[in-house]
């Protein structure tokens, strides 16, 4: 037990080497595009809309595809009304209030890790970001579940409760719905990989230097 505690303490005290600091800095910069590109995309196809209705979910807003004659978000909400689903409104998504704030905080913490250069700070950042990512996915799924299950019983068209797809494809009434991560989510997925790489390279170099 004492040996395990000693090894754990030694790991947390490992200094982060130059390569590790650069990787953490790149990780912070990789998060910048998440403020400007969608985190998630949903597309709905039907006979009425063969070219698809597009819904883009950013870290801070909802946006439908737009053409000179059509606003896809407005069309989606009109269709939702017929089956008794609440309209998609930005004010109902509390995630838009805290996700940009958390991403900004993570970027600042990453810069702190670069300056302090300590493994314990890097591990803290990795755990925090991993929790943030998993909680965001759960929150998104929970929101989809509520939208598809809290239907107005007086709606013109009766459909059984459903959960819109989070990944992949699903059929809802006469619509084929496709849902996939947007570019922003891929940028976010790179961040923990860069942090892990920084841990690995730093630990490897430190152990090499300690060898007699």
| In the chain, domain spans | 16-197
SS3 of residue 172 by DSSP: strand
Count the neighbouring beta carbons within 10 Å of the beta carbon of residue 55: 22
pLDDT for the residue 110: 97
CB 194 within 8 A of CB 21: no
pLDDT in tens, 26-71: 999 999 999 999 999 999 998 888 888 999 999 999 999 887 788 8
Q: Where are the alpha helices (DSSP H) in the chain?
A: 2-12, 18-30, 72-82, 95-116, 119-149, 183-210
Q: Which residues pair with 57 in a beta bridge?
A: 40, 62
Divide the 212 residues of the chain into consecutive groups of 10 and give the mean pLDDT of each group: 67 87 96 95 88 92 86 87 85 89 96 94 95 94 89 83 88 85 95 96 78 62
Instruction: State how far the Cα of 117 lies from the Cα of 123, in Å rounded to an integer.
Output: 11
Rounded CA gap, 136 and 58, in Å? 13
User: What pLDDT score does 148 carry?
Assistant: 86
- pLDDT given for residue 176 in this prediction: 87
Q: What are phi and psi of 171, to 5 degrees?
A: -105, 125
């Amino acid at each position: 037990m004492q040996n395990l505690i000693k090894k754990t303490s030694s790991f947390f005290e490992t200094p982060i080497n130059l390569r590790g600091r650069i990787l953490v800095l790149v990780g912070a910069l990789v998060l910048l595009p998440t403020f400007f590109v969608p985190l998630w995309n949903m597309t709905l196809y039907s006979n009425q809309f063969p070219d698809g209705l597009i819904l883009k979910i950013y870290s801070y807003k909802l946006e439908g595809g737009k053409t000179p004659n059509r606003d896809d978000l407005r069309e989606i909400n009109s269709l939702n009304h017929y089956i008794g689903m609440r309209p998609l409104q930005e004010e109902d998504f509390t995630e838009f209030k805290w996700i940009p704030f958390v991403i900004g905080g993570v970027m600042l913490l990453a810069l702190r890790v670069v300056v302090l250069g300590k493994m314990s700070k890097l591990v803290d950042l990795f755990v925090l970001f991993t929790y943030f990512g998993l909680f965001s996915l759960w929150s998104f799924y929970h929101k989809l579940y509520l939208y598809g299950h809290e239907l107005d019983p007086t709606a013109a068209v009766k459909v059984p409760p459903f959960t819109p797809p989070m990944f992949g494809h699903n059929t809802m009434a006469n619509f084929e719905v496709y849902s996939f991560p947007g570019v922003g989510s891929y940028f976010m997925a790179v961040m923990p990989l860069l942090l892990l790489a920084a841990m690995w390279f730093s630990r490897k170099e430190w152990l090499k230097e300690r060898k007699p």
